């Protein structure tokens, strides 16, 4: 599994970056690749750029009446942006993971701020309303749910200090 993960990381890095630029984004020691703070910063910029950008947006919800014909942020206040719901959830997971690995990275304050804005109790409760709708109980199943579970796991394990408090609110 470790070899597969390393191979996958190498493929992803190789596919998205030019060879010259890669040296600052990760280190390699005895065949093991390790992300650097510069690499974490590079990857953090991807979801930070789109996570609160409402359009373009591809919805996957079922419209059983006109109540959901509104801006995506109205029914997905926690996970809008980044083109679709599961990509937004994936981006949130990545930001939490990167912040746990590099708590002092240059984007740390922005990450904390955006996560606090998006992952409020009110926003999560609004997200849940869609899943309680009879026609949307299977929304984004299985792929989106998998990223949501990964995000929850990331929030439940380890500790991150957020301006004197821990992730207790988000862990619920």
Report, as an integer, the average pLDDT of 95-110: 96
Q: What would the two tokens of residue 104 be?
A: 């002092």
Q: How confident is the model at residue 24 (pLDDT cuts 50, 70, 90)?
A: confident
- Rounded CA-CA distance 54/67 in Å is 18
Q: Report the pLDDT value the prediction gives residue 68, as an integer from 0 to 100.
A: 83
Residue 35 predicted with pLDDT over 80: yes
pTM: 0.80
The arithmetic mean of pLDDT across residues 73-96, rounded, is: 95
d(CA 106, CA 154): 20
pLDDT score of 57 more than 80: yes
SS3 36: coil
d(CA 170, CA 172): 5
Q: CA–CA separation, 26 vs 47, rounded Å?
A: 19
> Which pLDDT belongs to residue 107?
97
What are the structure tokens assigned to 159, written together?
A: 């500790």
CA distance 160 to 62: 37
């Amino acid at each position: 599994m470790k070899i597969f993960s390393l191979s996958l990381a190498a493929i992803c890095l190789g596919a998205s970056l030019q060879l010259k630029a890669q040296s600052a984004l990760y280190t390699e020691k005895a065949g093991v690749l390790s992300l650097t703070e510069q690499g974490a910063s590079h990857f953090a910029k991807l979801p930070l750029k789109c996570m609160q950008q409402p359009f373009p947006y591809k919805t996957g919800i079922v419209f059983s009446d006109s109540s959901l014909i509104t801006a995506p942020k109205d029914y997905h206040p926690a996970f809008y942006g980044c083109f679709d719901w599961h990509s937004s959830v994936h981006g949130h997971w990545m930001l939490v993971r990167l912040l746990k690995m590099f708590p002092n990275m240059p984007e740390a304050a922005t990450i904390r701020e955006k996560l606090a804005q998006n992952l409020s109790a009110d926003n999560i409760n609004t997200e849940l309303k869609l899943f309680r709708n009879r026609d949307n109980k299977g929304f984004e199943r299985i792929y989106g749910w998998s990223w949501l579970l990964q995000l929850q796991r990331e929030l439940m394990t380890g500790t991150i200090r957020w301006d004197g408090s821990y992730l207790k609110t988000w862990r619920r």
